[in-house]
Amino acid sequence: MSYFMIIITTLVQMIGWLLSAYMWVVIISAVLSWVNPDPYNPIVRFLRNATEPLYSRIRRTLPFVVVGGFDLSPILIIVAIQIIQRLLAQLVFDMGISSMRTMGM
């Protein structure tokens, strides 16, 4: 495996970890929205600051996301993260296969 492939694989893994961490932030934020926590709590403020910009952008772009007072934007974000992670994994796999073919393996 070439150094370029090692760097690309490492970068894709780091992006995957960041996407997974953000997915958990979205999940925790969605669960906390059901219980109406103290808005002055630093953890709640961090979660809202980390997720609300993306939620509001999705709500503006896709107005049908709010159905009967139920906000589906966290579900859309989680699905999008899962799709991006799968695409990145497939990209690295395809690059590895093509690099093995060029090396004659």
Which bin fits 36, alpha (ψ -120 to 50), beta or left (φ > 0)?
Answer: left
The whole-number pLDDT of residue 99 equals 72
Q: Which two three-digit tokens encode residue 56? A: 């509001």
User: Helix 3-35 crosses helix 42-61 at what angle (to 10 degrees)?
Assistant: 100
- Residue type at 37 in one-letter notation: P
The whole-number pLDDT of residue 6 equals 83
CB atoms < 10 A from the CB of 72, how many? 15
**Cα–Cα distance, 29 to 82 (Å, whole number):** 18
The whole-number pLDDT of residue 51 equals 95
pLDDT in tens, 12-70: 899 999 999 999 999 999 999 889 888 899 999 999 999 999 999 999 998 888 888 88
The whole-number pLDDT of residue 105 equals 60
**Cα–Cα distance, 42 to 77 (Å, whole number):** 23
Residue 83 confidence (pLDDT) above 70: yes
